[in-house]
Amino acid sequence: MQLNIKYFGLIAELTTCNEETLEFSEATIADLKEVLVEKYPELKTKDFQIAQNKEIVSSNAIVSGEEIAILPPFSGG
């Protein structure tokens, strides 16, 4: 499946893009993390969360193909 992935803040700086489309054939968010870390090895040392359809999801959640975003620690306010 084609996944559209958004990157923010520190993570976007590291991937050098705000958004990209990746081919994904596995099942879970944990699998997606592995795919991302393989593409961007620096991610391994960074703290990030994954949102799917605008909700933070845990590693064992299933990737549904809805809007995915990779989010560094929040620093609003």
* Residue 13, token pair as written in the block: 């700086």
CB of 25 to another protein, least distance (A): 26
Q: How far is CA 10 from CA 14, 27, 46, in A?
A: 6, 26, 9
CB of 1 to another protein, least distance (A): 21
Site for another protein contains 22 (CB under 8 A): no
The two most distant CA atoms of the chain are separated, in Å, by 38
Contact between 60 and 26 under an 8 Å Cβ cutoff? The reply is no
* Residue 27, token pair as written in the block: 């099942």
Site for another protein contains 74 (CB under 8 A): yes
Site for another protein contains 8 (CB under 8 A): yes
From residue 53 to residue 72, the character string flagging contacts with another protein as x (rule: CB under 8 A) and all else as - is: -xx-------------x-xx
Site residues (vs another protein, CB under 8 A): 6, 8-10, 13, 51, 54-55, 69, 71-77
